[in-house]
Amino acid sequence: MSLEEDLLTKWRSLPKDKQEQVEDFVEFLYLKTSPNKPPLGERLRQLRAEIVASGEPLLTQEEIEKEVASRRGRFQDNV
């Protein structure tokens, strides 16, 4: 079995939230090593412009905090 197949097999056995963490980490490594990456601030401005252009509402500060806590495994909805 190749390294790629082994990683994919292991990734598929993980729960969805752990798969998302792996995906985030791989994206981080990819962007960190990409020679043609725009500066972070520019990329964030591009992403914001794409979201606004799509008509999708931007998150509130509270929604951002919940999303961050959720991804870090500490979110508990008290509603």
Q: Express each pLDDT in 7-45 by its tens digit.
A: 999 999 999 999 999 998 988 888 788 777 778 888 889
Q: Give the C-alpha separation, 27 to 54, whole Å.
A: 23
Whole-model pTM: value is: 0.45
Q: Express each pLDDT in 37-72 by its tens digit.
A: 778 888 889 889 999 999 989 999 999 999 888 888
Q: Is the pLDDT of residue 77 over 70?
A: no
Give one DSSP letter per residue of 57-78, joined into a string. PPPPHHHHHHHHHHHTT-----
pLDDT value of residue 79: 46
Sequence spans of domains, the chain: 1-37, 39-79
Tokens of 72: 């870090």
Which residue would you say has higher pLDDT here, 73 or 15?
15
Are 38 and 46 in contact by the 8 Å Cβ rule? The answer is yes
Please name the amino acid found at residue 20: E
Widest distance between CA atoms in the chain: 47
